[in-house]
Amino acid sequence: MYESHFGFSEAPFSLTPDTSFFLNQNSHKDALNTILVALKHCEGFIKIVGEVGTGKTLLSRILLARLNQDFVTAYIPNPFLTPDELKSFVAQEVGASIEKNMASHELMSAIYRRLIQHCRNGKQVVLVIDEAQAMPRDTVECLRLLTNLETEKRKLLQVVILGQPELDVMLARSDLRQLKQRIVFSEYLSPLDFDATRRYIEHRMNSVGENCSTNFDNHAIKLVYVASGGIPRLINILCHKSLICAFGRGDQHISVWHVAKAVQDTTETKHLGMFLSRLLGIGFFAPNRRAAA
């Protein structure tokens, strides 16, 4: 749409998690390092919690890309599964020999035999579960039983669970205390602060526009930060809409006026958008027409 106008090779603020745009901010860096160290030492459970849009899915993809040939990985993006569906998925991902309509205990035995083979071959098996707060209670218990599979020296299956804060609420239930006790490491993905928001925007722009001169001015970045609360997904939405607004007017640089229009148009920032719409109505933010002149 606007890529050629600004000199971008592709849209810089796509909502699709793209590892090429990963910026190693503090909380994400800490979470990734924690996971890698825990997996190296064969710890059983690692938990990562973050609000909607803080980059959990992107982090999980970065993690899977970082794990080398010493690891066998399985990734579940939507864990709303029955216990048998979970076992079938794990069995398929680790390469267990299974048959259709296998009994539950036979599935577990097949998984165990395959995990033992991987262990003898020097492989660590890692299961990464995104949106873990959506797991039914019986499936969570099944997951705990899967992590019971071990040798005398090490766990045969390591699990990384990522979820929204509701995951902590779920794990606080008394009937899930056995699983909670197995979580050795836990990290929280925080929203970006203002400086990190600036770096995030600049990083994504520079990643797709090496020779372009387009930029968000300081006031525009401040409004993006205030309106988004530092949530990367909201930052992407607001910056994308700001670029569309500037493209429609023929502007090259993004001012607070463009961002204000984007905020006004975004449901998640409607509380601020209503206020900004009044300011726009009285001409508080004068549109920048210089670039189009």
Reported as a single tens digit per residue, the pLDDT across 3-59 is 888 888 888 898 888 777 777 677 788 899 999 998 988 777 899 999 999 999 999
Q: Which candidate, 78, 161, 85, 173, places its Cα nearest to that of 126?
A: 161
The residues that bridge with 183 in the sheet, in sequence order, are 45
Q: Is the dihedral of CA 105, 109, 115, 119 positive or negative?
A: positive
Considering the domain delimited by 26-189, tell me its CATH architecture. Answer: 3-Layer(aba) Sandwich (3.40)
* CATH 1.10.8 matches 193-292: yes
Do the first three CATH levels of 26-189 and 193-292 match, i.e. the same topology?
A: no
**What's the predicted TM-score (pTM) here?**
0.85
Domain extents in the chain: 26-189, 193-292
Query: Could you tell me if 284 and 255 are in contact, meaning their C-beta atoms sit under 8 angstroms apart?
Result: no
Q: Which candidate, 227, 231, 233, 236, places its Cα nearest to that of 207?
A: 236
Mean pLDDT of the chain: 87
Q: What angle do CA 25, 27, 29 make, to 5 degrees?
A: 60
Sheet with strand 45-50: strands edge to edge? 71-76, 124-129, 158-163, 45-50, 183-189
Which of 26-40, 95-109, 169-183, 274-288 bottoms out in mean pLDDT, i.e. has the lowest? 274-288
Q: Which value, to the nearest 10 degrees, does the dihedral of the CA atoms of residues 125, 80, 59, 29 take? A: -80
The arithmetic mean of pLDDT across residues 213-227, rounded, is 90
Residue 153 has pLDDT above 80, yes or no: no
Strand, coil or helix: 69: coil
Amino acid (one-letter) located at 220: A
Residue 208 has pLDDT above 90, yes or no: no
